Amino acid sequence: MRPGPDLDLNVNTPATRSAHDHAYAGVRVAVLGASGFIGRWLTRALWEAGAETGLLIRDAVRARRVLADHGTRDATLIEVDLTEPLAVRKAMASFRPSVTFNATGYGVDDRERDASLGMRINGEMVHCAAQAAADCLDREWPGAHFVQLGSALEYGTAGGDLIETTPPNPTTWYGTSKLAGTRHLEAVCRRSPAFRGVTARLFMVYGPGEHAGRLFPTLISAASSNDMITLSAGHQKKDFTYVEDAAQGCLRLGASAAREGEVVNLATGKLTMVRRFVEMAADELDLRANRLEFGAVEVRPGEMNHDPVRLDRLRSLTGWAPSTSIQQGIRATLTFLRSGCVHGR
């Protein structure tokens, strides 16, 4: 049973979602990393669109709990160790998806610090999964066969307006490993005729399910205490994208006519200072301004402070761009959490 009106927490209206929703009805879709932050919302969106989903996950018990919190039902759960190429290939071959979404991302959680493991999961595993998807190619599916969720950190210190042709210059092992995944997908597309893969390059995604220790979850946790909140000066600018918009954008790209191996920026196209985001969240959380210690800590090493993100290609392919405002996204997140659903577990 789908969530009733009291739990329908989507910001987008049905009218903005109908075109790509119809594209997935009855289509067999694999999702890697389905119980992760973005993966759970991507899975929910696919379920709402009527897709037949196969979820490649590490822990079926945890995945069932997380997905139930998000109103997702009737998915096929396939337990697999994503660090084992043979296991990934077998899982993909047994499910035979028309479309695959890779929402894995080792290193987003601050506790994940093994750079070599990150390269295996974020880089090498993409090659394995994409090749497996190409081996069971559905030539009747008109969209992309593989959608890779990339990262803004692939751009690194690249300056100027960020357009997809901007040469990447990652400065962190996470950004380097995600760029490796993008390159692996491009290589599979070059070698596999008719196989279409696209990388959705995501920016500052926030919302329900974010890992503890990130900016918004830290503010939410602080609301239940009286402690001071130590922050950087917050002058760096980010393109804050609400998680449901990110998921919807991935679905739209999956149903689009993207070129083989293409990279597409998925963001709002609007920059906001981190300090302003904090102030808006604090206002919704009733956090007093005198508890916010801006400038008490240094900006994290490798944190981006980038120029505007260009969305020309996203709009050309989908006729759409994320429209949820930061205030709407903050309020939707708090509504979700206050409904009694589990956050990030």
How far apart CA 201 and CA 241 sit, in angstroms, is 12
- Classify residue 57: in a domain, yes or no: yes
pLDDT tens sequence across 184-213: 999 999 999 999 999 999 999 999 999 998
- Classify residue 109: in a domain, yes or no: yes
Give me the CATH number covering residue 73. Answer: 3.40.50.720
Q: What is the pLDDT of residue 60?
A: 85
Three-class SS of residue 59? coil
pLDDT tens sequence across 94-138: 999 999 999 999 998 878 889 999 999 999 999 999 999 999 999
pLDDT tens sequence across 28-44: 999 999 999 999 999 99
Structure-model confidence comparison of residues 9 and 316, the more confident one: 316
> Percentage of residues in the chain with pLDDT exceeding 70?
92
Structure-model confidence comparison of residues 303 and 288, the more confident one: 288
Q: What is the pLDDT of residue 345?
A: 34
pLDDT tens sequence across 153-182: 999 988 889 999 999 999 999 999 999 999
pTM: 0.92
Query: Average pLDDT, stretch 286-312?
Result: 92
How would residue 68 be classed by pLDDT, with cut points 50, 70 and 90?
confident
Query: Average pLDDT, stretch 217-226?
Result: 94
**What domain range is 170 assigned to?**
26-210+240-270+307-324
- Classify residue 169: in a domain, yes or no: yes
- Long-range CB contact pairs, 273-276, < 8 A, 24+: 273/234, 273/235, 273/236, 273/237, 273/238, 274/215, 274/232, 274/234, 274/235, 274/236, 274/237, 274/238, 275/231, 275/233, 275/234, 275/235, 276/234
CB atoms within 10 A of CB 320: 20
- Classify residue 11: in a domain, yes or no: no
- Classify residue 96: in a domain, yes or no: yes
Query: Average pLDDT, stretch 146-151?
Result: 98
How would residue 6 be classed by pLDDT, with cut points 50, 70 and 90?
very low
How far apart CA 77 and CA 199 sit, in angstroms, is 24
Q: How long is the chain?
A: 345
| Mean pLDDT over the full length of the chain | 91
Judged against a pLDDT cut of 80, whether residue 73 lies above it is answered with no
- Classify residue 64: in a domain, yes or no: yes
Three-class SS of residue 93? helix
Structure-model confidence comparison of residues 206 and 71, the more confident one: 206
Q: What angle do CA 285, 289, 293 make, to 5 degrees?
A: 110
Contact 143, 157 (CB under 8 A): no
Contact 275, 282 (CB under 8 A): no
How far apart CA 247 and CA 3 sit, in angstroms, is 18
Judged against a pLDDT cut of 50, whether residue 1 lies above it is answered with no
Number of domains in the chain: 1
Q: What is the pLDDT of residue 266?
A: 98
> Percentage of residues in the chain with pLDDT exceeding 90?
80
- Classify residue 334: in a domain, yes or no: no
Judged against a pLDDT cut of 60, whether residue 15 lies above it is answered with no
Q: What is the pLDDT of residue 197?
A: 98
Q: How far is CA 72 from CA 94, 211, 333, in A?
A: 22, 20, 17
- Classify residue 73: in a domain, yes or no: yes
